[in-house]
């Protein structure tokens, strides 16, 4: 995609309609169910430019996939209640018609999924599925599309792409399938690529290959990338910025360096403390977060993390009653926690940092 001509008038309009290439504002996705309303995503905002990578981390059920599916417009109509704004290059996807969003899908924004075996249709060849993706948005003959598919397969490192193009997904290994999924997602040269747990189902050695591939392709295509994962190691490999999610909300957002070197939220501390680290001295004991993530139907009052937080008592009851807003504590580091800067620094320096 070539950058559209930016005239002075355009710029003004763009600021008005979303500044960044991808600008998500106060996105809420609620699912009414028999048991109550599941607030899967409850007000998150972030921006992302082309050429940058945002990592979204959080435990399962924290709303990562639901967020990405709403950007792609993949929630079923009538099932989800979606509010907020999602600007993709200035166009609000939420107020756009379904047909308009469909035209953008695959062309300007694409997605790869966790399990490449179930994400590909078992009855069609890999080539056919890439050709299909290419031809929805490009008026070309089957031959041209097939050539393009072979090129894409070659580009993502599949050996003998001219032969493998006619193979079925089940004839590929897990890593090869994920490469083919990436080839399919990138076939129309999208500006935004969302990778939802792209390596969770893969072995470490293959995971490393796929992460390298995503990084290389992003440099080449200069697209914006959102990488969703529960593995802090994976985001550290790829992400420029990281958003940590808990119970449907972002609780910390900052540059990747800050998240790992100066994390500010007790939940982020908890995640880091729970992970055994291969790059540090072996600790005698892991420091788990107590309890379990809350139900998204009955999110705890105040800070959703308060029943599991070791510092909730330091805030004079605010943690239990008032929901902390995601605020900038300086240098674009956003944190949603009532702890005062002094207490936060003290806890980090004395309790947390020495034990990581």
Partner 1 sequence: MTTANTESTGVPGVIEPKIGEELLSVEGLVKHFPIRKGLLQRQTGAVQAVDGLTFNVTRGETLSLVGESGCGKTTTGRLLTRLLEPTSGRIVFEGKDISHLSEGKMRPLRRDVQMIFQDPYGSLNPRHTVGKIVGAPYKLQNVKTEQGTKKAVQELLELVGLSPEHYNRYPHEFSGGQRQRIGIARTLALRPKLIVADEPVSALDVSIQAQVVNLLEDLQSEFDLTYVMIAHDLSVVRHVSDRVAVMYLGKIVELADRVSLYEKPMHPYTVALLSAVPIPDTKRKAKQDRIRLQGDVPSPINPPPACRFHTRCWKAQEICKTIEPPLVELAPGHRSACHFPENATPEQEATAQAAAKEDPATSKQNPAG
Partner 2 sequence: MFAYLVRRVIGAVVLLFIVTAVTFSIFFLVPKLGGASADDLASRYVGKSAGQEQIHETAVKLGFTDPLYVQYGRFVKGLFVGQEYNYGPATEHCPAPCFGYSFLTQQPVWPDLVDRLPVTASLAAGAAFIWLVTGVGTGIVSALRRGSVLDRSLMSVALAGVSLPIFFTGLLSLSIFSYGLGWTAQGGTNPMDASNPAWWAYDLILPWVTLAFLYAAAYARLTRAGMLETMNEDFVRTARAKGLTERAVVMKHGLRSALTPILTIFGLDLGLLLGGAILTETTFSLPGLGQYAVIALRANDLPKVLGVTLIAAFFIVLANLIVDLLYAVVDPRVRIS
Ligand X SMILES: Nc1ncnc2c1ncn2[C@@H]1O[C@H](COP(=O)(O)OP(=O)(O)O)[C@@H](O)[C@H]1O
Question: Which residues here bind ligand SF4, judged by CB under 6 A?
Answer: 266, 303, 305-306, 309, 311-312, 315, 319, 324, 337-339
Residues facing 224 on adjacent strands: 192
Q: Does 318 bind partner 2 (CB under 8 A)?
A: no
Query: Residue 66 binds what, of partner 1, Mg ion, ligand X, none (CB under 5 to 8 Å, by partner type)?
Result: ligand X
Question: Can you give the binding site for ligand X, defined by CB under 6 A?
Answer: 31, 33, 38, 40, 58, 60-66, 79, 296
Count the Cβ atoms, other than its own, within 10 Å of residue 142.
Answer: 11
Contacting range for partner 1; rule: CB under 8 A; set: 138-146, 208-216, 330-338, 344-352: 208-216
CA distance 227 to 68: 10
Judged by beta carbon, residue 102 or residue 355, the one nearer partner 1 is 355
Q: Are 328 and 336 in contact (CB under 8 A)?
A: no
- Nearest distance from residue 250's CB to ligand X, in Å? 12
Q: Of 38, 56, 72, 86, which lies in the binding site for partner 2, with binding defined by CB under 8 A? A: 72
Give the nearer residue to partner 1 in terms of CB position, either 142 or 355.
Answer: 355
How far apart, in Å, do the first and last CA atoms of the chain sit? Answer: 43
x-or-dash pattern for partner 1, window 92-131, by CB under 8 A? Answer: ----------------------------------------
Q: What value does the CA radius of gyration of the chain take, rounded to a whole number of Å?
A: 21
Residue 68 near Mg ion by CB under 5 A: no
Cβ-based nearer residue to partner 1, 146 or 308? 308
Residue 212 touches which member of partner 2, Mg ion, partner 1, none, C-beta under 5-8 Å by kind:
partner 1
Cα 257 to Cα 76, 174, 232, 239, 262: the distances in Å are 37, 31, 12, 10, 8
Q: Is the Cβ–Cβ distance between 29 and 79 less than 8 Å?
A: no
Choose among 195, 135, 202: nearest CA to 175: 202
Q: Using the rule CB under 8 A, is 232 a contact of partner 1? A: yes
Residue 276 binds to partner 1 (criterion: CB under 8 A): yes
* Closer Cβ to Mg ion, 65 or 125, answer by number: 65
Residue closer to partner 2 (CB basis): 133 or 232: 133
Could you tell me the CA-to-CA distances from 318 to 97, 301, 313, 338, 340 in Å, in that order? Answer: 42, 10, 9, 7, 12
Closest CA to 249 of 76, 14, 62, 79: 62
**151 binding partner 2? (CB under 8 A):** no
Q: What is the DSSP string of 92-139?
A: ETTTS-HHHHHHHBTTTEEEE-S-TTTTS-TTS-HHHHHHHHHHHHS-
Residue 115 touching partner 2 (CB under 8 A): yes
Q: How many residues does the chain have?
A: 356
* Nearer to ligand X (CB atom), residue 7 or residue 205: 205
Closer of 218 and 306 to ligand SF4 (Cβ): 306
- Say how far apart CA 240 and CA 222 lie, in whole Å: 14
CA quadruple 233, 235, 238, 239: dihedral positive or negative? negative
The option from Mg ion, ligand X, ligand SF4, none interacting with 40 (CB < 5 to 8 A, set by class) reads ligand X
Nearer to partner 2, 111 or 352 (CB): 111
Q: At what angle do helices 174-185 and 204-221 cross, to 10 degrees?
A: 20
Residue 48 in contact with residue 21, Cβ under 8 Å? Answer: yes
Candidate residues 83, 118, 160, 283; the one interacting with partner 1 per rule CB under 8 A? 283
Residues that bind partner 1 (CB under 8 A): 59-60, 159, 173-176, 203-209, 211-212, 230-237, 256-257, 260-261, 270-279, 282-283, 285-290, 292-293
């Amino acid at each position: 995609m070539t950058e559209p001509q930016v005239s002075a008038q355009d710029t003004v309009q763009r600021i008005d309609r979303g500044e960044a290439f991808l600008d998500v504002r106060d996105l809420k996705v609620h699912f009414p169910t028999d048991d109550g309303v599941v607030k899967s995503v409850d007000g998150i905002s972030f921006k992302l430019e082309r050429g940058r990578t945002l990592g979204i981390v959080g435990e399962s059920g924290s709303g990562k996939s639901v967020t990405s599916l709403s950007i792609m417009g993949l929630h079923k109509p009538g099932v989800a209640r979606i509010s907020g704004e999602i600007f993709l290059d200035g166009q609000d996807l939420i107020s756009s018609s379904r047909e308009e969003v469909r035209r953008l899908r695959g062309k300007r924004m694409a997605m790869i999924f966790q399990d490449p075996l179930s994400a590909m249709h078992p009855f069609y060849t890999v080539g056919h599925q890439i050709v299909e993706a290419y031809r929805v948005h490009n008026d070309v003959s089957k031959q041209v599309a097939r050539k393009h598919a072979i090129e894409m397969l070659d580009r993502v490192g599949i050996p003998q792409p001219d032969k493998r193009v006619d193979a079925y997904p089940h004839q590929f290994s897990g890593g090869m399938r994920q490469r083919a999924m990436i080839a399919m997602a990138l076939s129309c040269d999208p500006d935004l690529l969302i990778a939802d747990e792209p390596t969770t189902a893969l072995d470490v050695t293959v995971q490393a290959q796929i992460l390298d591939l995503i990084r290389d392709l992003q440099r080449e295509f200069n697209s914006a990338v959102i990488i969703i994962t529960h593995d802090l190691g994976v985001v550290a490999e790829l992400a420029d910025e990281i958003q940590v999610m808990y119970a449907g909300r972002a609780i910390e957002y900052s540059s990747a360096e800050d998240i790992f070197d100066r994390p500010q939220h007790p939940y982020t501390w908890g995640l880091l403390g729970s992970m055994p680290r291969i790059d540090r001295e072996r600790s005698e004991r892991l420091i788990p977060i107590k309890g379990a993530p809350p139900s998204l139907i009955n999110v705890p009052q105040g800070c959703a993390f308060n029943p599991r937080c070791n510092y909730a008592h330091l805030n004079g009851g605010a943690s239990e009653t008032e929901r902390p807003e995601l605020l900038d504590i300086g240098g674009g580091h956003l944190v949603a926690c009532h702890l005062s800067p002094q207490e936060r620094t003290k806890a980090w320096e004395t309790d947390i940092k020495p034990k990581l």
